[in-house]
Amino acid sequence: MEFELWWLLAFPLFFVLGWLAARIDIKHVVKESRALPRTYLTGLNFLLNEQPDKAIDAFIEAVKIDNQTVELHFALGSLFRRRGETDRAIRMHQNLIDREDLSDEQRQHALSELGLDFLKAGLLDRAEAVFVKLRGTRFNEFALNNLLDIYQQEKDWKKAIEIAEALPHHEGVLWEKEVANFHCELAAAAMANSRFDEAMEGLGRALALNRKSVRANMLMGDLCASRDDDRAALEAWKMVEKQNPIYLALVAERIMDAYRRLGELEQGIQLLRSYLDKYPSLDLLDALFQWELQKEGPQVAYQLVRDELRRNPTLLGLDKLLEAALLTASAEQRTDIELVKSLVHGHTRRVARYRCDTCGFKARQFYWRCPACGGWETYPPKRTEEFDLVP
């Protein structure tokens, strides 16, 4: 009985203590909210309702009321940049940096935001200077990633290599592929200026980093061919099959030109036929079609395209078949075939494009680096129609 009375007496006491604690918390929250400018809360409300223009106006008013609100300056600068008003964002962050009451951490944060402002405005030299200052700080990795982006935009491949190698986890597969492409860019520039030994060294470094670098072997073959060493060039281009056979279409013309110079055209055609049999490709078919047409004539070229169309039915293949049929058709048939071909060709324009695996950007020509997202080797050398084929 005493036990039950004790709990009856203690229960009201616990209730009173809980009520007092809640009152203290509420008073603290109310005190903090009163310390904030009302326009600040209004601005937050606009942000939550996805009204950035009204939010900016409210934040500007809040800054006028309380100029010491550092976080509010950051929010306002970020909104300016997002809306494309980079000049106002730059002034906002520059004013923050010039303040003497900022901590080191806040100053570094302001610098990082200023660097993004310059980058958004296209002022790459100023952005670079800011991010260089941030190296070695807590924003080091952030600065390195932005410097890497800047140097790729400027095509300063030597600096891009240095920055990529300074990044944490730079030994991963992604960085091997990217840095190998930086070396390939340097090698291509050296080849264009007849610095062949320098180009050879660069390609060697690219292959040492990434043994599967198709681009490096393609350039190696080009370099050997420019030195009249077609045998070595063929060896380099044939390596593509072991690295990634999907890229064989890119070296098909090179291979055939080398065999033609060597006087072994038949051997080259047989090699391309074996490639097409194992790795169906519309671009590979097109290359082989042209060489068969040149060497064996329109009837053999037509037979080649017809057999391939039966194996892999595509609109692009049909377009090529109609092209071959025109070469063997009589004068009466040619008019009808030309009509059908013009209709088919109108549809093939939509599917005769390359597509980036990362962002989906489509282009009529092949790129080693996507013009839209900047990814390296994200463009498989296959037409968009080929992705829909069932093996």
Residue set of the binding site for Fe cation:
356, 359, 370, 373
> Alpha helices of the chain — where are they, by DSSP H?
2-35, 38-48, 52-65, 70-82, 86-98, 104-121, 124-133, 140-153, 157-166, 173-192, 196-209, 214-226, 230-243, 248-262, 265-278, 282-295, 298-311, 315-328, 331-351
131 vs 233: CA distance, rounded Å: 43
Residue numbering of the annotated binding site? 356, 359, 370, 373
Q: Distance between alpha carbon 6 and the CA centroid of its chain, in Å?
A: 72
In angstroms, the CA 288 to CA 221 distance is: 20
Measured CA to CA in angstroms, residue 233 lies from 66, 158, 246, 270, 285 at distances of 70, 27, 19, 18, 22
- CA angle in degrees (0–180, nearest 5) for 268-188-157: 145
| Length in residues, the chain | 391
How many CA atoms within 13 Å lie on the side-chain side of 255? 27
In eight-state DSSP terms, residue 363 is E
Residue with tokens 């390195």: 144
Q: 224, 189, 221, 181: which is closest to 205 by C-alpha?
A: 181
Residue 292 CA to residue 302 CA, distance in Å, equals 9
> If you write DSSP's letter for every residue of 296-349 in order, what string do you get?
T-HHHHHHHHHHHHHHS--HHHHHHHHHHHHHH--HHHHHHHHHHHHHHHHHHH
Tally Cβ neighbours within 10 Å of residue 66.
Answer: 13
